[in-house]
Chain A
Amino acid sequence: MSAACAATETNEPDAGLVGALVSETLARLTLFAETGETTTIDLGGLPMSNRHRAALDDFLGRGEVSASIDVIGRTEVWETQFSGVWRVRHFGDGAIATDLIEIAACPKILCADRRDARLAARGMAEALELNPGIVETPHET
């Protein structure tokens, strides 16, 4: 979603947008279940009002997982009641900046990147070197 998901309510007529979105999601979810192909539906650029968004999220509901990511602003991720269907919502300057439906085992943004991991490993090794006794500490009596 562009900065577009405006907060202001406009009384546009409902063009069956939510229904169409849900059918699209169902088709992609079926595909994912069969072939493992992941997809993302970008709600940006769609003429969605807050009412549309609420109706969509009401239908999709909430599942087992929800997470909040703190990277250049807030990001909310939750699994919907339909396993494999995720909602990813990036916030910018207070407003929603990007709003996605992701159909995958796990949304990409939740996964750690191996290149970050490589750096982290180095950092961890350094930390360990600085404080070699730390691992044993809890076991000492």
Chain B
Amino acid sequence: MKPDDTLAGEMQRRGVSRRAFLKYGSYIASLMALPPSAVEALAEGLAAARRQSVIWLSFQECTGCTESLTRSYSPTLENLIFDFISLDYHETLMAVSGEAAEEARRAAMAANKGKYIVVVDGSVPMKDGGVYATIGGKTNHQILEDTVKDAFAVVAVGTCAAFGGLPKANPNPTGAVAISTLVAGKPMINISGCPPIPEAMTGALAYILSFGKLPELDHLSRPKAFFGETIHDRCYRRPYYERGEFANAFDDAGARQGHCLFKVGCKGPVTYNSCATTKWNGGVSFPIQSGHGCLGCSEPEFWDQGGFYRPLSTPLGAMGPALAGAALAGAALGVGAALSARSHQKHYLASLDKEKEKE
């Protein structure tokens, strides 16, 4: 008899019952705020799925995204996803290197043509022919095109891959671009964040595995389940914001009483992410709960919003010189206008006098 190669079969061989899928289904449905009725569909879909081949490409990045996703202490619910995927290529995690690693990538691509998922972290440098990041003599751009060609879907993990991130920040010396600009025509998901919330990536992958399609996405291709609401919408400090109670500095009485962090630069109102509900480190806390405003890390160009501590309702750049210059110019124009009025008046009076003389 052919061994059952579904995920359920694999789990059964390890002595784990289908309860595991039910439990995992509840977990994912809860994470993604799917209706409880979706739990069984998720569980059944996952149980019937085959191990998903994943090829992970790392470009201009700091490996923080991989850190975020793989940091886990024991084989539990949260990282069960790694039993459901087959990570066929990941430079940081794979044992082999060099030509053997590249061979593994090619083999996985050939064996799973049209079915593998490409996960990318990091942005791609395009300036000067892409020479700023190469692997084995190939530019990031070449590797991406080559790998994505036969993929089923592309998942850009982290803000660098999703929107360009730090490499693309002003003045963008390498001409870095987001992955989405290079993979036209492929189903594509952005899991932004610096780093992204691991549950967002897990949830999106589990959803694809169970349902064979992408979850619902927002206009920036982010799963709505995790990026559908702003931090501010779900922030527990919101009542303070509404009452007008703010921390003016990180060490004042307001800060100690847990008041809203808007005045010290919180970007929660314009940042779509699920930190406030999913939280970090297995639900321990999230930045605002730890006393620091949201940096806006899951939004495009968050590095270039004028500074992390500059309140959202203030201008991006320094206004002093522009305003001083404008005031000076205005004063000059005003004085000029008045002088011209005065000379006009003088001439007029003089002409009156002249007329009087004539008479």
Which A residues are within 8 Å of any B CB, using their own CB?
Answer: 1-8, 10-13, 39-42, 44-45, 47, 69, 71-73, 75, 88, 90-98, 100, 108-109, 112-113, 115-116, 119
Contact = CB atoms under 8 A, between A and B. Distances in A.
B77 A73 contact: yes
* Interface of chain A: mostly helix, strand, loop or mixed: loop
A56 B24 CA distance: 24
Given A3-B282, A72-B24, 4 more contacts: A40-B39, A95-B282, A115-B18, A116-B17
Contact of A7 (B72, B73, B284): B284
The residue among A7, A42, A92 with the most chain B CB atoms within 10 A of its own CB is A92
B30 A45 contact: yes
B172 to A, nearest CB: 35
B36 A40 contact: yes
B18 A113 contact: yes
Contact of B282 (A71, A93, A113): A93
B80 interface: yes
Contact of B27 (A5, A7, A12, A92): A92
17 contacts: A3-B278, A5-B283, A7-B283, A42-B29, A42-B30, A42-B36, A69-B19, A71-B19, A73-B76, A75-B23, A90-B23, A90-B77, A91-B77, A95-B283, A95-B284, A96-B283, A109-B23
Contacts, number: 122
Given A4-B278, A12-B236, A100 B26 contact: yes
Interface residues on B, range: 35 or more
Given A4-B279, A45-B277, A94-B282, A72 B33 contact: no
B12 interface: yes
B17 A112 contact: yes
Contacts of A75: 23
A72 B289 contact: no
B8 interface: yes
A92 B27 CA distance: 9
A113 B48 CA distance: 14
Nearest to B75: A72
